[in-house]
Structure 1
Amino acid sequence: MPGTRTYSVMVALGSSFAAGPGIDPVVDDKAMRSGRNYAHLVAKDLGAALTDATVSGATTATILEKKQRVSTKRFAPQIDAVRTSTDLVTITVGGNDLGYLGALLGCAAANRVAHRWYGRPAGWLFRKALSKKDITDGLVSDTTDSVVRIIDEVRRRAPHARVVMVDYVPIVDDTTVPSDTVPLTAEEIAFARNVSATLSDIYLAAGAKTGAEIVSASSFESGHGIGTAQPWVHGFRPNGLLAGSFHPTAEGMRAAADLVLELLRRSDGTGNGSS
């Protein structure tokens, strides 16, 4: 296509929804980083060299300024991967700042325990504590400001880079209801929808402030949430695969990658855009 921009040096920044826990092949077990996450798929299709700095559990702080410790390994701030030669940067972060996955995993575990008579008191108390989690306007504002700082720092280090924010593949959709395969209450499912919408709003606000482009994975059509026939997110996996619970499947990563590629091929990145 005439005028289509090409990319040769790509950097991926983000937390588990970018890293891809639970998807083979694993390229870094401490980071729980997959060789088939959306960044790897995009880089392969573009023919670009990729530095994948994503780490499961990352926050805006560990991308921007703090080292992240996972077991015996320490990861430098992810922003250090961005160089002057970088011409494409993808960013997925913010969920851990809001406590998104931790709350859902805790609720699912508590609900499973509460099904057994001896676990009901503990399960009830845990769910009650988690239900008090409040995503305040202040927390949302702080997270938005942190995402803006990440984008600004990327541009300071790589002035010619195209910056694309990829928001979160939805864990639940309009069809998701409590069931044996969805160990969440209706209230907890509503919480997941609310946090997903809040993260989308954070990305829109950060994009408006910086001009960074947005790929709205959160806008996937219904029918791919947990408990559906074709889920793009793993369900609750307590038997040795807990880290992958409520995270994108290989199909979900492919769908996110396709949205990124669609955006890149549709425009050259000279103006605001979303997909």
Structure 2
Amino acid sequence: MRNIRRTATVAVALLATLFLIPAAAQAKPKQIEQYVALGDSYSSGAGAGAYSDAVCQRSNNAYPELLADELGAELSFVACGGAVTDDVLAGQVDALSEETDLVTIGIGGNDIGWTEAIAACITPFHDCTPEIEEAERKATEELPAKLDAVYAEIAERSPKAEVYVLGYPRLFAARNTCDALGSINIAEQERMNQGADLLSDVIEEATGGHSFTYVDVRDGFEGHAICDTAPWLHGFTVIDVPYHPNVLGQRDGYYAEMSEIL
């Protein structure tokens, strides 16, 4: 009987060696060595200071820099303030290759004229509803095809890469009128947030047509919008880039979200 038990114990150990150990080995995360960061000002770190490139407003505090440091990856940081989808296709995608392991991209806001809509809303005594509605029209009618072209090019150039598409946060707390001397009232803030939600939804839907991962940062920024007690976004300012994530927004918003995923 003891021999039978000993034999059974050995058999169990052998099975563990054959099956459990390889399974654990297969679960080991993929080593990320080549990382390319594409996109516009929200990805370049405009508003976060410590710029390594003043023209594109690439910040050393931007989430791609923080993420590359954590991963120990070589970073090709080509995101640029003011970029639209055509800029990504015309130049930024040249940083991609078959050796690229990781790609992050945030793009689309400039394509729909979101900056112009914000500017209209901070203009005193001006109803910015037409500008918001035009931005929403572009988001639904024009942006999906532009995003699809960008995503297809990424997939073609870097077929083995893990690709993460990052969305945009809502800008306003929509509880008071602290920003721009109170020129953006609560109703306008709520309307801007609705537009931001539509933009995020369009980007998420376009991402679904590819084998990419959409990263929704809206919940992460909840409680840290403009006019909140601890904002992660600049409001109206002449010192830095207005209506963009500050250092905390890049670190505790975008970077924290990506770090948790990876």
Bucket of the pairwise TM-score, normalised by the shorter protein? 0.7 to 0.9
**Given the alignment, which residue of 241, 244, 262 partners 1:247?**
244
Contact 1:177 1:189 in 2 (8 A): no
Residues 55-92 of structure 1: per-residue CA shift (max 9 Å, x gap): 11111111113xxxxxxxxxxx2111112211111010
Tell me how far apart the structure 2 counterparts of residues 136 and 259 of structure 1 sit (CA, whole Å): 26
Q: Tell me the equivalent position of 1:236.
A: 236
Partner of 2:186: 186
User: Displacement, 1:247?
Assistant: 0.3
CA contact (8 A) 1:176 1:225 kept: no
Residue number in structure 1 paired with 2:114: 100
Of residues 67, 72, 76, the one that matches 1:42 is 67
Aligned-residue offset at 1:136? 4.7
Question: Superposed, which structure 2 residues align to 1:53-72 within 5 Å?
Answer: 53-65=78-90
How far apart are the structure 1 equivalents of 2:179 and 2:172?
15
What TM-score comes out, normalization by structure 1 length?
A: 0.79
The Cα shift of 1:102 comes to: 2.6
SS at 1:58 equivalent = coil
Return the alpha-carbon distance in structure 2 between the equivalents of residues 251 and 21 of structure 1.
Answer: 12
Larger radius of gyration: 2
- Contact (CA 8 Å) 1:91, 1:165: kept in 2 or not? yes
CA distance in 2, matches of 1:232, 1:136: 24
Structure 2 Cα separation of the partners of residues 24 and 55 of structure 1: 14
CA contact (8 A) 2:179 2:236 kept: no
2:17 is matched with: none
Corresponding letter in the other structure for 1:179: C
Report what 1:83 is aligned to. Answer: 97
Q: Which residue of 1 aligns with 2:257?
A: 259
Where does the alignment leave 5 or more consecutive residues of structure 2 unmatched?
A: 1-23
- The 1:257/1:180 distance shift into structure 2, 3 A limit, reads closer
Q: Which range is displaced more, 245-254 or 145-154?
A: 145-154
* CA distances 1:149-194 after superposition (whole Å, capped 9, x unpaired): 2111111111111110011132124x54323555412332123212
1:3 to partner: Cα distance: 2.2
Please report how far the alpha carbon of residue 230 of structure 1 lies from its aligned counterpart in structure 2 after TM superposition: 0.7
Say if 2:170 and 2:218, in contact at 8 Å, map to a contact too: yes
Structure 2 distance, partners of 1:196, 1:94, is 11
Cα 1:142–1:236 change in 2 (3 A) is same
Structure 1 or 2: larger helix share?
2
Fraction of identical pairs, as percent: 27
TM superposition shift of 1:138? 5.6
Q: 1:10 deviation in Å?
A: 0.5
Specify every segment of 5 or more residues in structure 1 that has no aligned partner in the other structure, as ranges.
66-76, 112-123, 265-275
Q: Distance in 2 between matches of 1:153 and 1:106?
A: 34
- Opposite residue 52 of structure 1, the aligned amino acid is F
* Counterpart residue identity of residue 207, structure 1: T
Q: What root-mean-square deviation, in Å, do the aligned CA atoms of Structure 1 and Structure 2 show?
A: 1.9
- Over 3 Å counting, the alpha-carbon distance change for 1:197 and 1:139 in structure 2 is closer
Secondary structure of 2:163 counterpart: strand
The number of residue pairs the alignment matches comes to 233
Distance (Å, rounded) in 2 between the aligned partners of 1:258 and 1:180: 26
1:152 lines up with 2:149 in the alignment? no
